[in-house]
Amino acid sequence: MMSTIKFYRLLSPVQSSKIFQGCTKRNATNTSRQSKKSTDKKGQDVEVNAERPQTSTIVKHVVYTAVAVPTIFTGCAIWQYERIRNESFLLRHQRWQQKEMGIRDHINSIWNSLSPVQKFTYTFVGVNAVVFLMWRVPALQPFMLRYFTHLPAKSHSVLGGTLCGLSHSSGLHFLVNMYVFASFVHPMMPLFGKEQTLAVFLGGATFSSLVSAIFRLSTKSMIPSLGASGGILTLVAITCLTFPDSKLAIAFVDQIIPHSFSAESAVIGIVLFDLLGILLRWKLLDHAGHLGGVAFGVWYAKYGHEFYRDYRNKLLQFWHGVRTGKN
């Protein structure tokens, strides 16, 4: 779930008041500057000046998303090429030698015994755990608020639109999201591989933040959000549309009340739930961000996967030429 409230508990009353009063003062100052430029004689000028900051902020987030998402997929495609190239090199030049195993070798043997899905899942959870622990360091909280939460305001970096997908400040929030991620990454990895799976997650998280930003600006909601749910719901949507007849159940609840429903019904239920949350203005979760994640997943399952495959083939042909000096 993408939470909008829980990380406030990490801040002491003094810290939270200082940080968010600073944001409020900046917004108030910007508003007053805009109003001074406007005249009471021309009501139209007042409206235009008041809308400029909101429009520029939306444009900034749209431009960031338009640049970040292709960059993420390009970087992951090149990463896949370099990994395969490196593995091929090692296989050709590997020398088998008998030697005494130390602690590092034992750790490597345990790691190498894991499946690719397990390695990817443990690494992802480990990165999220590091970010979670960073929230526990008081000196880092201003940095975390700026770069690891998402809010369409000058006090927050646009990088937060992507990095907030790796950020959890509540232990329960972290555990639930990691459990759901681990559940849905298993069917994704055999289809896409770890590089494309990561690109889909980060792309979905970034796009969900854009949708959230537009909604927040339109409703003047200035509560930061964080959590992996935007990217996770992208994975959920792709999995459910790829395997629409698969049976799912709500985690832990099925142990008490046995039940199941089709994967396709799960996507419909998620959309209806988040639409209801938007209509009733529920503030515990970032429902607009959730819908953005689902929308990106639906698009990718229907069209994006084919588009990316064609793009990746052309990109890797070019990159292979660069690496081998044939271009």
Radius of gyration of the chain (CA): 23
Torsion (CA) 145, 293, 207, 197 in degrees, nearest 10: 100
DSSP 248: E
Q: Is 265 a catalytic residue?
A: no
Q: Is 186 a catalytic residue?
A: no
Instruction: Kindly name the residue from 167, 170, 212, 229 that is annotated as catalytic.
Output: 229
Among candidates 285, 161, 178, 301, which has minimal Cα distance to 221? 285
Give the span between the Cα atoms of 182 and 206, in whole angstroms.
20
CA 25-26-28 angle, to 5 degrees, is: 60
Instruction: Kindly name the residue from 260, 290, 305, 320 that is annotated as catalytic.
Output: 290
Among candidates 298, 146, 125, which has minimal Cα distance to 226? 146
Cβ atoms 162, 65 nearer than 8 A: no
- Residue where the block lists tokens 């970087």: 75
Catalogue the active-site residues.
229, 290
